[in-house]
Structure 1
Amino acid sequence: MPSVHDNIILSYEVDLENERIRMRTRSYHSDLSEDTDILFSGVLAHSFETPLQGSIIFDIDDVGLDCFISYNRDLLEKGKGQGWPIMYETDEELETKLIEGDYLYFVISSSYGLSGWVLAKKVEMITKMRNEQDEE
């Protein structure tokens, strides 16, 4: 997976109907800048905090589902009555459903601005070199 360390987040789109999130980013590490789209698919839930213009990604890590429940205890308690992120009775049942559904827990850490997480089945990165014509 290409590195998106220090990429600036240009935009993100949450497509609830098709269970996708597309995050457009830009890197300025070389003479020619690169645009990288981060595509999360099979998205069950997400949470983004402090989205600011010029947000800079530190890293995106697959942390493991075993951390999801403990890291998000308060959020899960608030959403449980509304069936968020899915219907479940116990933490063990939630974890089992997530494992059986092949979900991954991606944590987005930030150097500045937007941070958060995505529960999705897959993430892929599509990188495109930019040239002077693209920037006009």
Structure 2
Amino acid sequence: MSNVHDNEILSYEINLKQNKIVIHTEYIIPNKTENTTIFFYDVLAHFFDTQLPGSIILDIDTYDIHHFITDNKELLEKHKNYSWPMDYTTIDELEGKLIQEQYKYFIISSSYGLSGWVLAKKYEINVIEM
């Protein structure tokens, strides 16, 4: 997959009906511009923070579901009674369901601006050089 380090986020779309997130980015170097689109498919949940014009991606890393549970335990407890991110009785049950359904935990870290995470089954990156 292509490197998204230092790409500026131009926009993003969250399609709740299709369970898809699309992030449009741009990377400019002398004599060349790369327009990169990042697709997250089969999205179950996401959290974006500190959206700012000119947000710069540091990296997108993939972690296992155990890290998702550990990193978001307070958030999961808070929203459990609202069936978020899905209906479950215990945190262990949720972890088992997420693993069985093959979800992954993608963390978007930033040099500046938008950061957050996406819980989805896969992602891909498409680069167009101009």
TM superposition score category, shorter chain reference: over 0.9
Counterpart position of 1:47 = 47
Q: Take 1:105 and 1:29, find their aligned partners in 2: how far apart are those partners?
A: 31
1:119 aligned counterpart, secondary structure? strand
Deviation at 1:31, TM superposition (A): 2.2
1:108-119 correspondence runs (5 A):
108-119=108-119
AA of the residue aligned to 2:19: E
Q: Take 1:22 and 1:101, find their aligned partners in 2: how far apart are those partners?
A: 22
Superposed CA offset, 1:36-78 (max 9, x none): 0000000000000011000000000002111001101121112
Superposed CA offset, 1:71-110 (max 9, x none): 0112111211110000111111111100111101000000
Percent identical across equivalent pairs?
A: 52
Q: Name stretches of at least 5 consecutive residues in structure 1 with no aligned partner.
A: 131-136
1:101-112 correspondence runs (5 A):
101-112=101-112
1:34-113 correspondence runs (5 A):
34-113=34-113
Deviation at 1:5, TM superposition (A): 0.2
1:6 aligned counterpart, secondary structure? coil
1:52 aligned counterpart, secondary structure? coil
Counterpart position of 1:128 = 128
Q: How many residues align?
A: 130
TM-score, structure 2 as length reference: 0.97
Moved over 2 A (4+): none
The structure with the largest strand share of the pair is: 2
Q: Name stretches of at least 5 consecutive residues in structure 2 with no aligned partner.
A: none
2:116 aligned counterpart, secondary structure? strand
